Amino acid sequence: MENTIIEIVQFSFSISSKAILKNISLNVKESEYISIVGPNGAGKTTLLKCLDRIHKGGSGDIRIAGKPLDKYSQKELARKLSYVPQADGRISPFTVYEFVMMGRYPHLSPFSSPGKKDKDAVHDALAITGISEFAERFLRTLSGGERQKVFIAAALAQGAKVLLLDEPTTFLDPKHQADVYRLLKRANRERGFTVVSVTHDINSAVLTSQRVLALKDGAVAFCGFADKFMNNEILQKIYEKSFLFVKHPQTGKTIIAPEVP
Amino acid sequence: MNTGSKHKLILLTILLVLAIIVLSGAPMVGMITVPVSAILHPASGRMESDIFWKIRIPRVCISFLGGAGLAVSGMAFQAMFRNPLATPFTLGVASGASLGAAIYVRLGLVFSIFGISGISISAFTGAILSILLVYGLTRARRGFSTTTMLLAGVAISFFFSSVILFTQYMSDFSHSFRILRWLMGGLEVVGFESVLNMAPFVISGSAIILYMTHELNLMMTGEEIATSRGVNVWKTKRILFFATSLMVGGVVAICGPIGFVGMMVPHICRLLIGADHRYLTLATLLFGGVFLTLCDMLARTLIAPAEIPVGIITALLGGPFFVWLLLGKSSSKMGII
């Protein structure tokens, strides 16, 4: 495999003896954009959290850049992977600049102040995400969509080449959803970030990513190129619901439309 | 961003100057005016120089150290648990320390380790056992919330208070009086012994907190984000439990539980200087020290020769000030935690 950055081999994980992930295998290549979809409770978030060691343990093998996950210190891992969690509604009392600068933690030592390299990384992240003008504002004064960009900016500033995102567009209006997708696509295509994004938005997953991983009841139900995912047999198996398909007027790609009862 | 940090440095400088003024001014204030000659000759044997050097100076040191230690412990708990009500008092740490000290007094123990008195060590042990108990209780069941933990902390706090009162009730008169006087929270100390007993606890605890400012910032954004940025959350928590228990144990052993400082001073400082712990920790140490020293100065002079318990003054002064800040502009922009 050329330049595999994340390698998951037969990984299983349980929480209080309930199996959440069963025998997951997946290889993610460098600079790949992969979406993880599946019904609620399929284990999508858990998989991301296991990768970033927010959940520890599990059986099987996970390697990041060729090195076993449990051989990393948390700080070392943070230089490889960054994570944008699901918005939990809690807002910390920091300004945008302060919050994004905290992304530089894995590069700082105690007592040290951020140096030029850190400041450059933060300015760069603010510029890519288009939030430079908000730098001095408190997180509380921003809208949900603006705040999501701040979270992505902080993850970019962290300097890790792999971006894990958990439902980055949930709760956002259409404009901000589009903004976030454009931004992730740019980070992926222009900056070479590897993007692993959990989403319920099947259409955008197909339109933005190269590959789709679908989980159902903790196991892999589909893994392959995005356009192959748009198949009623596969979708019905995963979501227990049938879908209608139409062609996207711009790209000609197959997208789904809701069935009207 | 440069203007922001400049503003913070100016605020810190003001607080530092204030601290120096208060530390040098507070010993001058009191019922008896101490002449300069008495200050210059500590060993003269005159009553005034004894009052100045053996009573007022130690007392000012104790109140400054105590205020700083309690305030910064509260700050650490609030950041670590992302909750404005998390303090050494609501989490049962202070009452654990009190219980440790009360048991030491009740048993009539007298010992010291490396020159540190047994009462401080007992209070520290009580503090660390109670935080481990509260935290352990809520860890025992999955999916615990901070609210659950605070409830457990308050419950344990009440439980310990009852045990202390029971201990006091069952004690003979002299023990009972000692426990009661100290439970009311007071700073009537004599001599440098108490200062030397408390200082190592507060200084080492604060040094640890100052070392952990980046981690405190990230803990405040949530444990998941902190982990993903590279913080070892569990290790950080253990270090912070240790540091806060040192400070709370050290302070409570000498002063008894003084509640207000640990809860309100960190909020006041956060509203003044922002939530970045690289600045906030220093501001909280200085403001906590200045605040308790000033309150104690008022407590011993307002109706001299009688003394008002310092706890009355702290809440009387700090309460309205905090509400005023709460209604202000920075509170609505930044939010409380």
Question: By the CB < 8 Å criterion, does A120 face chain B?
Answer: no
Question: How close is the nearest chain A Cα to the Cα of B330, in Å?
Answer: 10
Does residue B305 have a cis peptide bond before it, meaning omega lies within 30 degrees of 0? yes
Which residues of chain A make contact with B278, given a CB cutoff of 8 A?
113
- Contact (Cβ atoms closer than 8 angstroms) between residue B296 and residue B169: no
Residues 229-288 of B with CB under 8 A from A: 229-232, 270, 274-276, 278
Which residues of chain A make contact with B337, given a CB cutoff of 8 A?
92-93
- Contact (Cβ atoms closer than 8 angstroms) between residue B156 and residue B130: yes
Q: Is the pLDDT of residue B183 over 70?
A: no
Which residues of chain B make contact with A95, given a CB cutoff of 8 A?
4, 274
Q: What is the pLDDT of residues B293-313, one digit of tens each?
A: 999 898 888 887 777 878 788
Q: Is the pLDDT of residue B96 over 70?
A: yes
Maximum mean pLDDT: which of B128-132, B163-167, B188-192: B128-132
| Domains in chain A, number | 1
> Closest to B334 (Cβ–Cβ): which among A75, A93, A158?
A93
Question: By the CB < 8 Å criterion, does B222 face chain A?
Answer: yes
Is A234 inside a domain boundary?
yes
Is A45 inside a domain boundary?
yes
Which one of A105, A118, A119 makes the best mutation probe of the B interface by having the most chain B beta carbons within 10 Å? Answer: A105
Q: Own/partner pairs for A133-137, CB < 8 Å, 24+ apart?
A: A134/A96, A135/A95, A135/A96, A135/A97, A135/B1, A136/A95, A136/A96, A136/A97, A136/B1, A136/B4, A137/A95, A137/A96
Residue A33 is which amino acid?
Y
Q: What is the pLDDT of residue A182?
A: 93
Closest CA to B208 of B157, B256, B244, B234: B244
Q: Where are the beta strands (DSSP E) in chain B?
A: 112-113, 116-117
Which residues of chain B make contact with A113, given a CB cutoff of 8 A?
278
Q: Which residue of chain B has the CA closest to A72?
A: B230
CB contact under 8 A, A54 and B231: no
**From CA A31, how far away is CA A4, in angstroms rounded?**
10
Q: Which residue of chain B has the CA closest to A82?
A: B228
Q: With bands split at pLDDT 50, 70 and 90, how would you rate the model's confidence at B137?
A: confident
Six-digit token string for B233: 């959350």
Question: By the CB < 8 Å criterion, does B108 face chain A?
Answer: no
CB contact under 8 A, B335 and A75: no
> Closest to A141 (Cβ–Cβ): which among B4, B214, B333?
B333
Question: By the CB < 8 Å criterion, does A85 face chain B?
Answer: yes
Question: How close is the nearest chain B Cα to the Cα of A103, in Å?
Answer: 6
What are the respective helix, strand and coil percentages of chain A, to the nearest 5?
Answer: 40, 30, 35
Q: What is the pLDDT of residues B73-95, one digit of tens each?
A: 999 999 998 888 888 888 889 88
**From CA A238, how far away is CA B100, in angstroms rounded?**
59
Is A259 inside a domain boundary?
yes
Q: Is B68 strand, coil or helix? A: helix
Which residues of chain B make contact with A90, given a CB cutoff of 8 A?
82, 222
Which residues of chain A make contact with B229, given a CB cutoff of 8 A?
78, 82, 102-103, 105-106, 158
Question: How close is the nearest chain A Cα to the Cα of B275, in Å?
Answer: 6
The residue-averaged pLDDT of B239-253 equals 91
Domain of A22, in residue numbers:
1-80+201-261
Q: What is the pLDDT of residues B8-51, one digit of tens each?
A: 999 999 999 999 999 998 888 877 777 777 778 777 777 888 88
> Closest to A78 (Cβ–Cβ): which among B211, B222, B228?
B228
> Closest to B229 (Cβ–Cβ): which among A15, A106, A140?
A106
- Token look-up 């960054």 returns A82
For domain B2-334, give the CATH number: 1.10.3470.10
Closest CA to B211 of A112, A110, A106, A113: A110
Q: What is the pLDDT of residue A1?
A: 46
**From CA A50, how far away is CA A61, in angstroms rounded?**
11
Task: Annotate B9-65 with DSSP letters as a single string.
Answer: HHHHHHHHHHHHHHHHHGGG-SSSPPPHHHHH-TTS--HHHHIIIIIIHHHHHHHHH
**From CA B237, how far away is CA B219, in angstroms rounded?**
9
Which residues of chain B make contact with A73, given a CB cutoff of 8 A?
230, 232
CB contact under 8 A, A91 and B335: yes
Question: By the CB < 8 Å criterion, does A106 face chain B?
Answer: yes
Six-digit token string for A237: 């198996």
- Token look-up 């310990």 returns B160
Which residues of chain B make contact with A93, given a CB cutoff of 8 A?
220, 270, 274-275, 334-337
Closest CA to A99 of A43, A46, A39, A140: A140
B/e letters for B80-115, b = 16+ CB within 10 Å, e = fewer, are: bbbbebbbbbbbbbbbbbbbbbbbbbbeeeeeeeee
Q: What is the pLDDT of residue A169?
A: 92
- H/E element, A33: strand A33-37
- Contact (Cβ atoms closer than 8 angstroms) between residue B257 and residue B95: yes
Q: With bands split at pLDDT 50, 70 and 90, how would you rate the model's confidence at B200?
A: very high
Q: Which residue of chain A has the CA closest to B278?
A: A111
CB contact under 8 A, A90 and B82: yes
Q: Is the pLDDT of residue B170 over 90?
A: no
**From CA A241, how far away is CA A260, in angstroms rounded?**
12
What backbone phi and psi angles, to 5 degrees, belong to B78? -60, -40
Here the CATH number for the domain that contains residue A252 is 3.40.50.300
Q: What angle do CA A182, A186, A191 make, to 5 degrees?
A: 160
Q: Is B95 strand, coil or helix? A: helix
- Contact (Cβ atoms closer than 8 angstroms) between residue A180 and residue A168: yes
Per mean pLDDT, which range of A129-138, A154-163, B184-193, B234-243 is the poorest?
B184-193
CB contact under 8 A, B230 and A74: yes
Question: How close is the nearest chain A Cα to the Cα of B218, in Å?
Answer: 7
Q: What is the pLDDT of residue B1?
A: 45
The per-residue pLDDT string of chain A (261 residues; one tens digit each, 9 = 90 and over) reads 468 999 999 999 998 889 999 999 999 999 999 999 999 999 999 999 999 999 998 999 999 999 999 999 999 999 999 999 998 888 889 999 999 999 999 998 877 788 899 999 999 999 999 999 999 999 999 998 999 999 999 999 999 999 999 999 988 899 999 999 999 999 999 999 999 999 999 999 988 999 999 999 999 999 999 888 988 889 999 998 888 899 888 888 888 887 777
Closest CA to A184 of A170, A197, A171, A167: A197
CB contact under 8 A, B4 and A54: no
Question: By the CB < 8 Å criterion, does A16 face chain B?
Answer: yes
Question: How close is the nearest chain A Cα to the Cα of B313, in Å?
Answer: 29
Question: By the CB < 8 Å criterion, does A216 face chain B?
Answer: no
Could you tell me the residue ranges of all domains in chain B? 2-334
Q: Which residue of chain B has the CA closest to A137?
A: B333
Q: With bands split at pLDDT 50, 70 and 90, how would you rate the model's confidence at B287?
A: very high
Which residues of chain B make contact with A82, given a CB cutoff of 8 A?
228-229
Higher local confidence (pLDDT), B184 or B72: B72
Q: With bands split at pLDDT 50, 70 and 90, how would you rate the model's confidence at B186?
A: low
Q: Quick one: how far is CA B18 from the chain centroid?
A: 19
> Closest to A105 (Cβ–Cβ): which among B1, B4, B231?
B231
